[in-house]
Amino acid sequence: MLKDELTALLDEDDSAAPESRIVRLLSERGAASAAEISRLSGLARSTISTALGELRRAGVVVEATHGDAARGVGRPASAFALNPKAGTCLGVHLSLAHVGVMVADVSHSVICEKTFALGLDYSPEAAVSAVRRAMRDIYTEQGLSLRALIGVGISFSGPVAPDGRIQRASIIPTWAGVNIRETFEPALQRPIFADNESNCSAVAEMTWGAAVGVEDFVFFTVDVGVGGAIVSRGRVLTGIAGGGGEFGHMTIDPEGELCRCGNRGCLELTASFAPALGVASRLLGRPIGLDDLIALALDGHVGCKRLVEDTATLAGRGLGMVGSVLNPGLILIGGRAALAGDLLLEPLARSYDRHTLIKRADTPEAQRTRIEFGRFTANNALMGAVALVLRRQGRLG
């Protein structure tokens, strides 16, 4: 079966045959021309040509409409992608009270996406049966075969240990200690890939967003919480227990307020938008959400502008510490903070530079840390859950 051939090629060792390297590359990148495959893999053009011939005869790879060709610049180069019939991926995002699912094929086409409300403190059982039902509905509606499903990627709003166990510090306290693999694998009967939402969002940026082709970057989200991810040589550094990239829980003030994680004075208590939203709501006498706050600030409301700037300055200080630890070449700012544009980015970057060791002014352009917005402000964790499967990252068990 085509799917078995595909997954065998996807899961071979690093030192594998050219066929396997090409299949993995196409799974990560979507479509690519032979020239791009050569540049990215280091394989000789003749080797690639032979291997692509084999893969096309086997039906694993097909000719694709190439992104660049669409621009109509010069004669379009042939591009290749994995055969969409060879496999599909299911992405799942488990958030505070909602579950999102997305189905995409291995040529990177999104087939369907749905979100449904499960209510606060929903149980693992409720999530599993909702996901299973949605999966069956989607595959039936779309006329897809479940046999071609190559894996399920799960994004969770909290640290996920390498064995799938959810750490105590998640935003859904009732899921602490639950094992994602043990919960979903028996019901879905497919390989399970999982990671926390910030790590998934970083994988989405790497696969389709602002970090395509970037092997090393830091992802830093500022929203009603602060989170992040570290990508090194194309892989997320998840840490020994899934706690890598938890920038929001750096202890800024050991005598500070209690955080939901059980520590005091965590960065996200002051540098997320949560306190600003409280102040704005009191100030304006009605509940103000993050989208409202940013819209008001962009509209020139002086109080809301100041709240955005001050949050950016506090977040930049925390990010400056991350800078002294990692000195990354690129920092992508994720979360809805991106909606504020330069109103947020400028004070954040200024504060970063003030509080980090390596200063912009001392450093030639090529060695400066670029701070930019990520591409996605919505759905990024769900897209990242699909990308986990395509990139074979975060596999459990």
Question: Which positions lie near a copy of itself, rule CB under 8 A?
Answer: 13, 15, 42, 159, 161-163, 167-169, 230, 232-233, 237-247, 249-251, 254, 261-263, 317, 320-329, 354-359, 362-363, 367-369
Nearer of residues 108 and 181 to a copy of itself, judged by Cβ:
181
* DSSP string across 119-162: -TT--HHHHHHHHHHHHHHHHHHTT--GGGEEEEEEEESS-B-T
DSSP 3-state assignment of 257? coil
φ, ψ dihedrals at 13, nearest 5°: -70, 165
Nearer of residues 242 and 394 to a copy of itself, judged by Cβ:
242
State the minimum distance, in angstroms, from the CB of residue 325 to a copy of itself.
5
Nearer of residues 262 and 278 to a copy of itself, judged by Cβ:
262
Contact between residue 338 and residue 377 where contact means Cβ atoms under 8 Å apart: yes
State the minimum distance, in angstroms, from the CB of residue 332 to a copy of itself.
14
Nearer of residues 13 and 299 to a copy of itself, judged by Cβ:
13
State the minimum distance, in angstroms, from the CB of residue 69 to a copy of itself.
29
Q: Which residues make beta-bridge pairs with 266? A: 251
Which helix or strand (DSSP H or E) is residue 215 part of? Answer: none
State the minimum distance, in angstroms, from the CB of residue 253 to a copy of itself.
9
State the minimum distance, in angstroms, from the CB of residue 323 to a copy of itself.
7
State the minimum distance, in angstroms, from the CB of residue 243 to a copy of itself.
3
Nearer of residues 63 and 163 to a copy of itself, judged by Cβ:
163
Nearest to 160 by CA among 135, 129, 193: 193
Query: Hey, how many other C-beta atoms are within 10 angstroms of the C-beta on 165?
Result: 18
Nearer of residues 45 and 359 to a copy of itself, judged by Cβ:
359
Alpha-carbon distance of 274 to 101, in angstroms, equals 27
Nearer of residues 208 and 220 to a copy of itself, judged by Cβ:
220
DSSP 3-state assignment of 84? helix
Nearer of residues 76 and 265 to a copy of itself, judged by Cβ:
265
Query: Hey, how many other C-beta atoms are within 10 angstroms of the C-beta on 136?
Result: 11
State the minimum distance, in angstroms, from the CB of residue 16 to a copy of itself.
10
Amino acid at 45: R
Alpha-carbon distance of 314 to 35, in angstroms, equals 45
- Find where tokens 């591009």 sit: 79
- Find where tokens 């979360």 sit: 335
State the minimum distance, in angstroms, from the CB of residue 393 to a copy of itself.
14
Contact between residue 262 and residue 168 where contact means Cβ atoms under 8 Å apart: yes
State the minimum distance, in angstroms, from the CB of residue 244 to a copy of itself.
5
Nearer of residues 196 and 380 to a copy of itself, judged by Cβ:
196
φ, ψ dihedrals at 234, nearest 5°: 80, 0
From residue 10, give the alpha-carbon distance in Å to each of 38, 48, 188, 237, 384: 18, 17, 20, 21, 18
State the minimum distance, in angstroms, from the CB of residue 360 to a copy of itself.
10
From residue 178, give the alpha-carbon distance in Å to each of 35, 116, 160, 164: 46, 21, 10, 8
Alpha-carbon distance of 225 to 221, in angstroms, equals 8
Alpha-carbon distance of 159 to 210, in angstroms, equals 24
Nearer of residues 139 and 175 to a copy of itself, judged by Cβ:
175
